[in-house]
Amino acid sequence: MSRRKWLGGNWKCNGSKQFITELLGHFNKVTTKSNNLDVVLFPPSIYVQHTVSELTSPVFNVGVQNVSQPKNGAFTGELSTSMVKEFGVNWSLVGHSERRHIYKESNKDVLEKLKVLQSQNMNAVVCVGETLEEYDKGLTEDVLEDQLNGFIYEVKNWDLVVVAYEPVWAIGTGKVAKYNDIVCLHNFVREHIQCSIGDVAEKIRVVYGGSVDKHNCVDISKLDGVDGFLVGGSSLKPDFLDILKVLN
């Protein structure tokens, strides 16, 4: 099945208003929108409005890196889906490894956030992946199965979900998983979803995240089962456009 490609740029806790304006000056030069590619930028929440206002290219969408479980109320420091939607934002990352491991978000937390996003008809990029210790112990498939089982049975609309496989040990380290491992694990993710909930798995986009850059993206994009990328550091550079061109 031919699936629409997907590319995300996770800026994490980086940038400034001036930096973003300069970066988007490069991105705005891309004016032709592909019918077969979604591109989403994930700036820090405080810069979402600035990013939206500075973007003139029709190619890019804007998302948030995190949303709160509750919709609104007395939840200091949280960011509700209704708030971000006011800025034209319709995407959110969920379960990124830095949220899971640094902030101790559980599979239950990931599920509750996904439910809120689904209730608001917002797109979710659900991240799964193993640590280096888990990889070395041969536990990768067990970890992925556990993380996938934490949410796949509760998804009401799979058209609004992208699954990102991110080996934690490859994020921001310059290390890239072996190409054969990427193929096997992307296929594992899809096959597990198919065995669990049926043929809807064929239309789900499974993307790779783990030190993707302009040098390795060509080869990785050709791998079976890879529907795009979730990019970190390289999305903070004009080089991000080279990755976009590869998927386009």
Residues, the chain, total?
248
- Report the alpha-carbon distance of residue 243 to residue 241 in Å, rounded: 5
Question: Which among 98, 105, 134, 166 is annotated as catalytic?
Answer: 166
Rg (CA), the chain: 17
Burial letters 182-204, b for 16+ CB under 10 A, else e: bbbbbebbbebbeeeeeeebeeb
Q: Has 96 been annotated as catalytic?
A: yes
- Report the alpha-carbon distance of residue 77 to residue 245 in Å, rounded: 37
Question: Which among 50, 96, 98, 105 is annotated as catalytic?
Answer: 96
Q: What proportions of the chain, in percent to the nearest 5, are helix, strand and coil?
A: 45, 15, 40
Q: What tokens were used for 113?
A: 């956030």
- Report the alpha-carbon distance of residue 233 to residue 25 in Å, rounded: 18
Q: What 3-state DSSP class applies to 102?
A: coil
Q: Has 133 been annotated as catalytic?
A: no
Q: What 3-state DSSP class applies to 161?
A: strand
- Which helix (H) or strand (E) segment is 9 a member of? strand 5-10
- Residues assigned a catalytic role: 96, 166
